[in-house]
Structures are given as structure tokens and as C-alpha cells.
Amino acid sequence: MQYQSLQSVTGTILVADDQAANRELLDELLTAQGFRVVTVPDGAAAVDELSKTHVDLVLLDVMMPHLNGFEVCQKIKSNPETYLIPVVLITALSDKQDRIEGIKAGADDFLTRPVDQAELLARVGSLLKLKHRTDELERAEAVLFTLARSIEGKDPYTHGHCERLSDYSARLGQHLGLAEDEITALRRAGVVHDVGKIAVPDAILLKPGRLTAEEWKLIQEHPVVGERICAPLKSFRLVLPIIRHHHEKLDGSGYPDGLRGDAIPITARVLQVVDVYDALTTDRPYKKAFTLTDALQTMQQEVEKGWWDAHVFGEFEQLVRSGTTGFLSRSTAAGQ
Ligand SMILES: [Fe+2]
């Protein structure tokens, strides 16, 4: 009865411990609380289990054969498929060095042997609640990404544009030394930047001929609409300015706000350089794909006109020409 508050929390817990008695103890205790428990006898088996079972939380013994707890934790936290799963390290040693190593490996929490049952259940409960909230957020993000991809899918000419933009913008951001959270924002913005086009009728979006002034005005609303769609997601805080400003130009002639120079967020300046390059090197209803050289030359002229950031473009050009990041192979595929 003392653990009643846990009863509303459910989930699958993976227990990895080389001592059968420890595994049985945790299994019994957690199963009695309504959790589904999977137990494994070593680190390698834990990694294997994670690749085939949906797990909500991992309890790891530190001293285990094959892979120890720190190594398993590091694997979990460096894999995009599993890094959001909370990891609790259980150790017989209470020494500080052990905890430091655990923190470095990305552990979310620690328990010291002998495990206090009330403490274990309290920690498991709070980490699982957090995990469920993260799952909800992930689902909301997944809906947005699906929506963005379905808009992209309407237009055969822009096929794969979102994925390329996401990948290249993140790489360019990395090359420019942007912060980790800005790079994550670029990765997300690459997919959702045009989600506001949902408000533009297909007849306009896919029109092969010239747009009327009114149609053009409607298209120009997509950054603001996109920002509004994504605004409720707190995790998209750094993505919103990219969505809103990805059509601004340095000389103030862009939209929707006519921002100039540094007033345009650096992340938006990064995305737009990649966006323009991708548009130029792809077939469109009104033009054939440019060659790499022609695309870069056109963009250089636009930099000189005062549209794009000269430094960002310079670094981008270097990446494209070096071919080391895969930009070149994309252009080769586009008909170089
Ligand atoms: Fe756009």
C-alpha cells in the first residue's frame, strides 16, 4: 500500500544483472507493482534485448561480464532509437568515481546496493512518468513530421527535399560551429520548415505557370502559418525562428518580416542557403536542374545582390566542392 502512487504508472523495465538472486528480487518487486519485467544476465544481452523489445526503463548493474553497466549505458544514450530511455545504474560501490563515470555515460539516476525498495520504486515511478511525457511529445513531433512529409509528397519535383535539407543544414551548422541545440533545431526545421504550405491550395502550390499577385501573397504566408502550427511544441522553441524567417533576405527584401542582416537568425541563414541550393539543383516544372557549378555561380551572384549570408555561403561552397560531406554526390545524382 505504501507504493500506491506508482499504480498509475506502467511500462516495461529491463533489468540487467549477472547475479540471479538480484534479478529475481527486482523482478518480483517490480512485477508486484504491475510493471512488465524482462531480465538478462549480462550487458551484451541487455543491448540485444533493447534492439528487439520496446523498453521504457533500464536498471543496470555496473559490474557485469561482456559489457559493463557504463558501456551499456553509453550504447543506449548514443543510439537515437534508445537515448530517451531512462537508465538507472545500480552499484555496490558508493564511491564518487563510479558516479562520475555513470554521469559521463549518460545515466539518469543511481541506486546503491543494498537497494532500498521504497527508493527504487520512487525513482522508477518518477522516471517512467517523465518517459511517458517524452513519448507524448515524440508522438506530437511525429505527427508534425508526417504532415510536413505529406505536403512535400504532393509535389513530385520536391521529392526527398525535406530529408536533404535536414541532413545538409545540420552538417553545415556543425561545420560553422553552431551549438548542439541549434543543430538539432536545423535538423527538425529541415523537415517542417514548409509545413505552413498546408494552407495553400494545391492548384496554387503545384501551378506550373506564373503566379498571380494574389496567389504569391498566399504562398508568402506559409512561414507564419508554419510557425503557428509548430508553436505549441516547447521542444520546437529554436525551430520556430527558422520556420518564420527561412525566406528573409539580408537586404530586407524577403518575407514575412523584411528582416535585414544579422536580425535574421543564423540558423535561418544556414537553412536558406541549403534550401536555395537544393531548389536550384532539382528539376522543377519551370526549369531543369542546374549543374553544381551553375548553382553555386547563381548563388554567388545572389550573395552579391545582398540576399544570402556571404560567410555561410562561402563555407557551404567549400563543403560542396570538397565533396567530403556527400553534397557533391547529391549534385552528381542531379545530373552533373
Ligand atoms: Fe518555404
User: Is the Cβ–Cβ distance between 37 and 26 less than 8 Å?
Assistant: yes
Dist. CA 149 → ligand 1 center (Å): 13
Distance CA 336, CA 293 (A): 9
Q: What pLDDT band is residue 32 in, cutting at 50, 70 and 90?
A: very high
Q: CA dihedral defined by 85, 24, 26, 92, rounded to 10 degrees?
A: -90
DSSP 129-142: HHHHHHHHHHHHHH
Place of cell 527508493: 119
Inform me whether the pLDDT recorded for 15 exceeds 80: yes
User: pLDDT value at position 205?
Assistant: 84
**Positive or negative: CA dihedral 19, 21, 23, 25:** negative
Instruction: Share the mean pLDDT of the chain.
Output: 88
Dist. CA 171 → ligand 1 center (Å): 20
Q: What pLDDT band is residue 8 in, cutting at 50, 70 and 90?
A: low
- Higher pLDDT, residue 283 or 41: 41
User: pLDDT value at position 254?
Assistant: 96
How confident is the model over 231-249, as a mean pLDDT? 94
Over residues 254-312, the pLDDT tens digits come to 999 999 999 999 999 999 999 999 989 888 766 788 888 999 999 999 999 999 999 99
Q: What pLDDT band is residue 141 in, cutting at 50, 70 and 90?
A: confident
Q: What pLDDT band is residue 139 in, cutting at 50, 70 and 90?
A: confident
Dist. CA 246 → ligand 1 center (Å): 6
Distance CA 273, CA 247 (A): 10
Distance CA 13, CA 31 (A): 9
User: pLDDT value at position 222?
Assistant: 95
Q: What pLDDT band is residue 323 in, cutting at 50, 70 and 90?
A: confident
* Among 186, 197, 189, 195, CA closest to 316: 186
Dist. CA 194 → ligand 1 center (Å): 5
Inform me whether the pLDDT recorded for 336 exceeds 70: no
Over residues 152-189, the pLDDT tens digits come to 777 766 677 888 899 999 999 999 999 999 999 999 99
Dist. CA 318 → ligand 1 center (Å): 24
Dist. CA 27 → ligand 1 center (Å): 52
Dist. CA 217 → ligand 1 center (Å): 13
Distance CA 61, CA 198 (A): 49
User: Is the Cβ–Cβ distance between 182 and 307 less than 8 Å?
Assistant: no
Q: What's the grid cell of residue 279?
A: 531548389
This prediction's pTM: 0.70
Q: What pLDDT band is residue 2 in, cutting at 50, 70 and 90?
A: very low
DSSP 72-108: HHHHHHH-TTTTTS-EEEEES---HHHHHHHHHTT-S
* Distance linking the first and last C-alpha atoms of the chain: 70
Q: What pLDDT band is residue 328 in, cutting at 50, 70 and 90?
A: very low
Dist. CA 178 → ligand 1 center (Å): 22
Dist. CA 223 → ligand 1 center (Å): 6
Dist. CA 293 → ligand 1 center (Å): 24
CB < 8 Å & 24+ apart, contacts of 152-155? 152/194, 154/202, 154/205, 154/206, 155/205, 155/206
Inform me whether the pLDDT recorded for 55 exceeds 90: yes
Inform me whether the pLDDT recorded for 334 exceeds 50: no
Q: 3-state class of 17 per DSSP?
A: coil
Dist. CA 226 → ligand 1 center (Å): 9
Question: In this structure, what are the phi and psi dihedrals at residue 318, rounded to the nearest 5 degrees?
Answer: -60, -45
User: pLDDT value at position 248?
Assistant: 97
Over residues 199-236, the pLDDT tens digits come to 888 888 888 788 899 999 999 999 999 999 999 888 89
Question: In this structure, what are the phi and psi dihedrals at residue 91, rounded to the nearest 5 degrees?
Answer: -135, 150
User: pLDDT value at position 179?
Assistant: 95
Over residues 91-127, the pLDDT tens digits come to 876 667 788 888 899 999 989 888 899 999 999 999 9
User: Is the Cβ–Cβ distance between 308 and 268 less than 8 Å?
Assistant: no
